[in-house]
Amino acid sequence: MSTNGWIDEQLESAIEFRNGKSSPERTEKGENPVYGGNGIIGYTSEFNCDSETIIVGRVGAYCGSLYFNKGKCWVTDNAIIGKVKNHCDGKFLFYLLKKLDLNNYRSGSSQPLINQSTLNSIEVKLPSDKKVQTRIAAILSTLDDKIDLNRQINTTLEAIAQGLFKEWFVEFRFPAATGEMVVSEIGPIPKGWRVGSIGELSYVQNGFAFKSNDFIDTGEIGVIKIKNINGNIVDILNTQYIEQNIVNELNNKFKVLPESLLIAMTGAEVGKIGLVPYTDQDLWLNQRVGMFIERTEYANWFLYLLLATDSYQETIRNSALGSAQPNISGSAIENIKILMPSKDIIKEYGAIVKPLFEKMLYCISENHKLSDIRDNLLPKLMNGEIEV
């Protein structure tokens, strides 16, 4: 059936589906990406797809996840290969499937699964003119390309900050370094440095103990919980909310500001840290999430890079009490020993990396806005509500 140049048909008319195959030997770098149900898991010189391919997570936690590859790749048996038919634009179909949210088509509870038969029978609506499909895909791709570019910029900026951190505070090639070392309880350290503690640089403010019935699913005043700390960044988009009358009774010490450094203080992911992106949103700190408050200027940039290291993540986990539900207090975090350079060096380092972190947080904030625009446009473009 055709309406205003859009046709209704089953998905099998646009995409030919087949299961992937067992993974070949993989390397960390290589010619062709290897896709599992959760995206790229390695690289190989082999391929089982050689043109536009839509990859659909087939089984388990990533059932219905979606990826798009333009050229050669290998798709494993944890995913389904979607071969785009000639009369369709592959990127358009990728966005069409994103709108459908294929996880809703899964079967099974203990081990979710999506199969080719289910995918083939899904009813879809798409432009009969491939050029219209391409124009729609181009709008959405432009937004996604900018989001991806911002992520690449952030990866580069953090690598620069980490490289400088290693040079100054691990290899001791900091400005005015004399090379003279002295004995300490943790080994040789530069003269003038000492063993100190985190609490000398910043103290840890614990969050407020909100009641379970305080939370609402929509609103304007967000609450940051442990689950919002992901990948060293605080997710400020997917929060629960509270009413204004609750905020009116809170001390401002529980208010979360952009650039704040947060840490998880309980549970399986105790010790994970995250920076708060730039936002105008009103945000508040939940219990068992700690917020570092600087005692020394620029200390939190230094602590962010220090606490992100594997050794200090392990130190925090080892300092947590309890086996079933590990917990660490703010004072225990503050008492963790660190190699303490002079505060002048920390300030000098912080002044250098501050613009890098500001750009990173700006890029994250911009990505939030771009994602919001894309997500609002997606259903309207895919329903033909917006003419292109």
- Confidence at 380, pLDDT banded by 50, 70, 90: very high
Residues 6+ apart with CB under 8 A from 149: none
Residue 2: predicted pLDDT: 53
What Cα–Cα distance (Å) separates residue 6 from each residue in 16, 31, 127, 388? 20, 39, 4, 13
Q: Determine the Cα–Cα distance for residues 310 and 262; give it in Å rounded to an integer.
A: 17
Domain ranges in the chain with CATH number 3.90.220.20: 2-126, 173-342
Domain 173-342 in CATH 3.30.390.30:
no
- The secondary element (H helix, E strand) that includes residue 348 is helix 343-382
| SS3 category, 179 | coil
Most confident of 64-78, 174-188, 373-387: 64-78
Higher pLDDT, 3 or 5: 5
Average pLDDT over residues 217-239: 95
Residue 346 above 60 pLDDT? yes
Query: 81-114, pLDDT tens digit by residue?
Result: 999 999 999 999 999 999 999 999 998 877 899 9
What is the chain's mean pLDDT, rounded?
A: 94
Residue 250 above 60 pLDDT? yes
Query: 348-377, pLDDT tens digit by residue?
Result: 999 999 999 999 999 999 999 999 999 999
Q: Determine the Cα–Cα distance for residues 379 and 298; give it in Å rounded to an integer.
A: 43
DSSP string for 245-293: HHHTTS-GGGEE-TT-EEEE-BSTTTT-EEEPPP--SEEEEBTTEEEEE
Average pLDDT over residues 154-171: 97
Residue 384: predicted pLDDT: 87
Superfamily (CATH) of domain 2-126: DNA methylase specificity domains (3.90.220.20)
Residue 3: predicted pLDDT: 62
Q: Determine the Cα–Cα distance for residues 126 and 94; give it in Å rounded to an integer.
A: 12
Q: Determine the Cα–Cα distance for residues 29 and 295; give it in Å rounded to an integer.
A: 43
Residues 6+ apart with CB under 8 A from 328: 265, 266, 270, 271, 316, 319, 320, 321
Residue 89: predicted pLDDT: 96
